[in-house]
Amino acid sequence: MSWLDNTFFAPESLQDNSGRRIMWAWILDGRKENIIKQSGWSGIFSLPRVLSLAEDGNSLKIDTPEELKSLRYNPVELKDITIEADSNMNLQGIKGNSLEIDVEMAPDGATNFGISVCCSDDGREQTDIYCDVNEKVLVIDTSRTTVEDIYSTAAFAGSARSRIERAPFELKKMNP
């Protein structure tokens, strides 16, 4: 969900016949009006999310509905990958603009760690998703998502919207 701005808006929810609270919303993309007209579309619906209370009774859990598994095909599974500090690794053979990524990371003392997605071959374009341990935030940085000038400056002006979103996120100690 959008922590900072209003690009994830107009949420709707329903309770299904299993008692799950399922929510979805509209996502604005902030593109320039001429780009929207040229492409013939603007914004998208979010994936549905199942909302529930965590075991502590105070925290919100957000999961994807089980039914989304039917959309999965051609899975690629990589295991036991170690990436050295201050380095990047390009995972060959993983491409696309509609991916589900299920990743577990062991920070091993790192203060910033994460993944970059939608990376161009020349490295100029990418979207970064990372955890900043010191600031206790999860960051989604779309400032380099494209080198093309397609975004409306009005859509991202001021503090209401940003191409770098930060949400409270604190790692919990894991039991060995």
Instruction: Give domain limits for the chain.
Output: 1-71, 74-176
Burial zone of 31 (CB within 10 Å; 0-12 exposed, 13-18 middle, 19+ buried) = buried
Residues near 127 by beta carbon (within 8 Å), at least 6 away in sequence: 116, 117, 118, 140, 141, 142, 144, 145
Residue type at position 38:
Q
Tens digit of each residue's pLDDT (9 = 90 or more) over 96-151: 777 888 888 888 888 899 999 888 888 888 889 999 999 999 998 888 877 666 66
- Within 10 angstroms of residue 30's Cβ, the number of other Cβ atoms is 20
Instruction: State the pTM of this model.
Output: 0.75
Cα-based distances in Å from 89 to 4, 10, 122, 145: 30, 38, 14, 18
